[in-house]
Amino acid sequence: MVNPLKEGDKAPLFSLPDQDGELISSKEFKDQRILLYFYPKAMTPGCTVQACNLRDSADDFKKYNVVVIGISTDKPEKLSRFVDKELLNFTLLSDEDHKTCDAFGVWGEKEFMGKTYDGIHRISFLIDKDGKIEKVFDDFKTANHHTIVLDYLKNNS
């Protein structure tokens, strides 16, 4: 069972390697809102649909001064291939030891095709300019994730 952070909680600081192996810190996004989306695995069908829809909505997110960042436990090399293959226009971070996933409460037991294992639950956090969690998105499909987030931004900006 996962226990994700809630709206109003202070977002944990993080510093993780991006798709190019460069260390990216959450402190670099001061005074910006961040859509931090956790996804299970790069280059899988659902994660690709989700990422491509976010890519195609980049201008809309910019309008609301929201930076999109994806986090998975994939190695930076795999993230780099994912970015190149899908022409992604946002940062992907590698959380191989799942410490950041743990800090946000998205790492835990999952079930897939009768198997139980630990992994990332597909949950997104909108972090406000002050580093607090403004909104938690945990009820969406990979195909409509971007729409649900943008609808929220439209009505709360």
Catalytic residues: 47
pLDDT in tens, 91-124: 999 999 999 999 999 999 988 788 898 999 999 9
- What 40-46 contacts at long range (C-beta under 8 Å, 24+ apart), as own/partner pairs, is 40/72, 40/119, 40/120, 40/122, 41/72, 41/74, 42/72, 42/74, 42/78, 42/79, 42/81, 42/82, 42/92, 43/78, 43/81, 43/82, 43/85, 46/122, 46/142
The domain ranges of the chain are 9-22+30-155
Given a cut of 50, the residues of the chain with pLDDT beneath it are none
CATH superfamily of 9-22+30-155: Glutaredoxin (3.40.30.10)
pLDDT at 1: 62
